[in-house]
Amino acid sequence: MPPPPSTVGSDDSLIDPSTAATTPAPSLTFSPVLHPTKLHDLDNLTTPRIASLERTRPAPAFKVKNICCVGAGYVGGPTAAVMAFQNPHLNITVVDRDAQRIAAWQSKHLPLYEPGLYPILRVARDGSKACTFCAEHREEIALSARLPNLFFSTEVSRCISEADIVLIAINTPTKARGVGAGRATDMTAMEAVTREIALHAKDGAILVEKSTVPCRTADLVSETVRIHRPHLNFEVLSNPEFLAAGTAITNLLEPDRVIIGSSDTPNGLRAANALADVYAAWVPRSKIVTTNLWSSELSKLVANSMLAQRISSINSISAICEKVGADIDDVSKSVGLDERIGRKYLKAGIGFGGSCFKKDILSLVYLAQSLGLEEVADYWTQVLDINDWQRIRFAKRIIKCLNGTLSMKKLTVLGYAFKEDTSDTRESPALETIKQLLEDGPSEIAVYDPFCDPAFIRDELRRFLGPDALKESGGPIEVYADAYQACANSHAIIITTDCDKFRNTPSSSTTASKHKAIPEDPRPFTHISPTETEILRLQTHLSSTLGSSNSLDRFADEPACEAGCEACVADLKKVEIQGRRQTETLDWNRVAYHLQKPKWVFDGRGVLSVKEMAALGVRVEGIGRVGWSGMLP
């Protein structure tokens, strides 16, 4: 008898949220999504673990040949691409029910933008040609051709059945309704994927949680598998991702750490070692850390929550700076010089966005509440409250400076993605700012972003603000593909993303300088035979100096599109626009000339020099620092 139809899909389309249940099955015993775990249970199940895999390597080793990654989104696609790139001997297949997304991964038109992804995907997905290049001044190295070992498919069941390791990289959003709505993680997609894996995975397969999940989700996975396949053996691992949009490829190639959680049984440790061997192809063993399942699951939530906490903390201080005349940049620098604190994530602004920080804090809050730790829950809730308050405070400040009304005024929002160097708009602070400003009835809100497709922004604004929000339907919002058109005749410009394009002075940030500098030449190589990472660095270096993305002539032919492909036409426009957007900074003199008087810029990301803007006759109000008052010529 054939298995029932699958409901597995992409991280955005795994299951129809309008019809799927949102509460996990009550038969699952341990998940805090359902009810608190007793402390003595935790004591019995979380025995101490040795941190380094170098110390615990039980034999025999598990032989891995095929890996299946379920979910072709922001985590699954890049993670599988890097794994395949660094492990030519493995076959890695990314599966998804979303045929359109899979087709995009198989074509020139990738479904997401991530710096550095393209050359890695081209080698792993399409294979590579043999080539030669100089190792040093005279030596030549011959590089053999590579066969493709990264594949994309909609045949979920078949690919799962062939895999030695199954990575689960699906979306785990916050519940929209039911018990724990607005805090708990919606496990509907995770349950659907787990059932699919339970029905089709082969005996002895290793199941790996890549998605961010509530603590004790491994029990849900194990229990589901036991129900459907009670006589087979599976090991469940936790391997949380620590990727940041815009730097995901760097995070994968040069991770701070790789966390692998497993059971303390010999089979559990053996499975952890098998996954560690995959990472060890490019990650030093000292950075591959093992722990128990629950610690691994919790570590992702805690890491993101701690980073978000730093942002809310410095933003709370920015309000004090504005009242007493201090400069938040000076305060951040002084505090960051303390080696116990460090300087990262101390940049004041209009708050954090993205798919992770808010969701993971809410999950941590719900966990604390489930365990009866209300004071802990209240503490982390306040991190989110400060984040929301900072955005509201910023919007009110804009209205106040514009004489208390936005009526008959055009406003320009520069930046729609939640951060620089990404097209990811999830939980974007820009959207929340636009919502606040709409309530005061401006005549127009112009929106421009260097990396987001204007058509995508329009679709999202319709979805979140209603069909009548856009100008084409009689609303005030207009999305532009050109920054100067967006700024023309505006009464105020509002910067909501920290893009280099919007700066009027060179950035001192590590990220910005990293993007602008020519990558270092990795030659001479460490060993006679260079690693894939070294070859990639050489190609990136040569591409920056020679202006060719295929500087080593290594890429095989890319899949061809049909004649008249609409995506090709759209991509040509994107390449032209993005090339201009990435290489050119705004001419603020030109922008200022076309602003309505008095000329206002509200810098929500601290990218402008107030003095230089004042010289152009522009009033700048920033976060946590002295504004325009007394500085105009």
Predicted local distance difference test score (pLDDT) of residue 142? 85
Q: Is 287 annotated as a binding residue?
A: no
State how far the Cα of 440 lies from the Cα of 406, in Å rounded to an integer.
Answer: 6
348 labeled part of a ligand binding site: yes
Please state, in angstroms and rounded to a whole number, the distance separating the CA atoms of residues 539 and 546.
Answer: 10
How much is the pLDDT for 543?
Answer: 83
Tens digits of residue pLDDT in 343-364 = 999 999 999 998 889 999 999 9
pTM over 0.85: no
Of 2-16, 193-207, 431-445, give the lowest mean pLDDT range.
2-16
345 assigned to a ligand binding site:
yes
* pLDDT at residue 387, as a whole number: 96
* Residues with a known catalytic role: 356
Q: Is the pLDDT of residue 628 over 60?
A: no
For residue 347, the tally of other CB atoms under 10 A from its CB is: 21
The pLDDT confidence band at residue 517, using thresholds 50, 70 and 90, is: low
- Reported as a pLDDT band with limits 50, 70 and 90, residue 50 is very low
Strand, helix or coil at 371? coil
Q: Convert the pLDDT of each residue in 264-276 to its tens digit.
A: 999 999 999 999 9
Of 160, 170, 163, 144, nearest in space to 66 by CA: 163
Tell me which of 285-289, 299-303, 416-420, 546-550 is least confident: 546-550
Both tokens assigned to 60: 């025999």
What's residue 35's pLDDT? 36
pLDDT of residue 515: 44
pLDDT of 483 > 90? The answer is: yes
Tell me the pLDDT tens digit for each residue of 596-620.
999 999 999 999 988 899 999 999 9
User: What pairs with residue 146 in β-bridges?
Assistant: 128
pLDDT (tens digit per residue) in 67-114? 999 999 999 999 999 999 999 999 999 999 999 999 999 998 898 888
Q: Residue 370: what pLDDT?
A: 93
- pLDDT class of 31 with cuts at 50, 70, 90: very low
**Fold agreement between 39-44+60-283 and 304-504+585-622:** yes
Region 12-41: mean pLDDT is: 35
Query: What is the mean pLDDT of the segment spanning 310-335?
Result: 95
Tell whether residue 547 is among the known ligand binding residues: no
Q: What is the pLDDT of residue 11?
A: 42
Average pLDDT of the chain, as a whole number: 85
Domain spans, the chain: 39-44+60-283, 304-504+585-622
Lowest mean pLDDT among 2-11, 36-45, 479-488: 36-45
Q: What pLDDT shows up at residue 12? A: 42
Report how far residue 405's alpha carbon sits from residue 85's, in angstroms, rounded to the nearest whole number: 55
Which CATH number, 1.10.357.10, 1.10.10.10, 3.40.50.720, 3.30.1440.10, labels domain 39-44+60-283? 3.40.50.720
Does position 461 have pLDDT exceeding 70, yes or no? yes
Q: How far is CA 120 from CA 115, 281, 525, in A?
A: 11, 15, 20
- Answer for the pair 317, 624: CB distance below 8 angstroms, yes or no: yes
- Could you tell me the fold of the domain covering 304-504+585-622? Rossmann fold (3.40.50)
Place of tokens 């290049």: 133
Long-range contacts formed by 171-175: CB under 8 A, 24+ apart: 171/10, 171/11, 171/12, 171/14, 171/71, 171/73, 171/211, 172/211, 172/212, 172/213, 172/359, 173/359, 174/358, 174/359, 174/362, 174/363, 175/22
Determine if residue 96 is labeled as part of a ligand binding site: yes
Question: Does residue 5 carry a pLDDT above 80?
Answer: no
Between 310 and 509, where is the model more confident?
A: 310
346 is in an annotated binding site: yes
Give the model's confidence band at 474: pLDDT under 50 very low, under 70 low, under 90 confident, else very high.
very high
Q: Is 172 annotated as a binding residue?
A: yes
Residue 573 has pLDDT above 70, yes or no: no
Q: Is 347 annotated as a binding residue?
A: yes
300: annotated binding-site residue? yes
Q: Is 101 annotated among the ligand-binding residues?
A: yes
212 is in an annotated binding site: yes
